[in-house]
Chain A
Amino acid sequence: MSRLKTLARREAGLPPLAGGHSLCQGCGIPAVVRTVLGSFDRPVVVVNATGCLEVATTRFPTTAWNVPWVHVAFENAAAVASGVDAAKRALRRRNALPEDQEPAVVVFAGDGGTYDIGLQALSGALERGHRFLFVCYDNEAYMNTGIQRSGATPFGASTTTSPSGLESLGKAQQRKDMTAIAIAHHVPYVAQAAGSHWQDLSEKVERAAAADGPAFLNVLTNCPLGWGHEPRIGIQVLDAAVETCFWPLYEVVDGRFRLTYEPEEMLPIEEWLRPQARFAHLLGPENTDVVAGIQRQVEDDWEALRSRCRESDRPMSRSEI
């Protein structure tokens, strides 16, 4: 049976995340959530940070979730997950948790709840080695509060707190490399994925789920409102991020880097910028040098990543990771 049909069969009857929520028309988050949860072959407990996904799916007395689900606050999803993981260990030790009932702990947080306000709790949880999967649905800004810039917002993007204007080109800083931060915690599994590449994401979830310790997935996720594109072309926009090498798809297993997708040809960065209104101000003739700078940065980062992947083909010492 094909992978997608396997996911479909698992979802049959009672999907973990059903319709009836108030996420935007064309929101990229549910595809990520359904792909992730559908790729588990055992029960899950979902820990959700404050944000679009949490708010739009759980307005009391409704819920769109059919799995055990908990939300506490914005910055502490990884800490809450640590508590659930510790509870599992404690209950297992005193034989209060039969093995066939042990759920996996899965965290969903946006980029705000991962890169910025959530960074401390995530770092602590990764360092302590809890067994959980942390999925960041990275749409590159605080979308739920109305499109404000985050540490994940790319250079040059216009947001409400980094607006482009007569004297501004949008966000003046480069975004954090959150995937690299996770890798630096020396956890068993880290990967970058995209909402457009469901199969790549699903395979990564399987490997993450098998990891004996923390796993981190950074998943590029589109936001029609925040990015400024028609809802219907969301997948194509994400695809452009991958094909321009703006958002490489790769994984790091026990410190070894591997590209999971390599474009046949690196498309020019304009293919990623042009479909999104948040970058429109960059595309005039007066800003060709700015766009050229972005192109160079993408190429440098891509080369550095490929170099790490090549290195991973040979044995490495821990200090090199």
Chain B
Amino acid sequence: MSSLTPWQALPHAGAVDASSAVRPETGSWRTGLKPQVELASCVNCLLCWIYCPDSAVKLDGVTFDGFDLDHCKGCEICAEICPVDAITMVPEERAS
């Protein structure tokens, strides 16, 4: 269900099935900076992963695997908390 729906087509009691729910992309909240990682420095401590409010640190199994920029809001917590300063906030390329 991704468009405005007539009442007859709504789910029973408005209960939203997790498997078919609409999932907004919140990456547009960022205001010009995005996280970038120096992979060689990363020690895979996963602190950025647990503290990210938007679950925007991707993992491959239990290994750091980059950022989900569709959902990252640019709060910079990951850059601040990284114990080896492997993450910095860098300007985003603007689409023209």
Contact = CB atoms under 8 A, between A and B. Distances in A.
Interface of A: 1, 4-5, 7-9, 12, 15, 17-31, 34-35, 38, 58, 60-67, 198, 231-236
Given A61-B1, A62-B16, A65-B18, A20 B24 contact: yes
B45 interface: yes
Contact of A20 (B23, B45, B52, B74): B23
Contact of A21 (B26, B50, B52, B59): B26
A25 B51 contact: no
Nearest to A230: B76
B46 interface: yes
User: Which secondary structure dominates chain B's binding surface?
Assistant: loop
Given A12-B59, A60-B16, A62-B24, A233 B80 contact: yes
Given A8-B46, A27-B53, A234-B77, A20 B26 contact: yes
24 contacts: A4-B49, A8-B49, A8-B62, A15-B55, A19-B55, A19-B70, A25-B29, A25-B73, A27-B53, A28-B53, A29-B53, A30-B52, A30-B53, A31-B53, A61-B1, A61-B21, A63-B18, A64-B23, A65-B18, A67-B18, A198-B51, A232-B77, A235-B81, A236-B80
A31 to B, nearest CB: 5
Interface of B: 1, 5, 11, 14, 16, 18, 21-26, 29, 45-47, 49-56, 59, 61-62, 68, 70-71, 73-77, 79-81
A25 B69 CA distance: 14
B16 A63 contact: yes
A9 B61 contact: yes
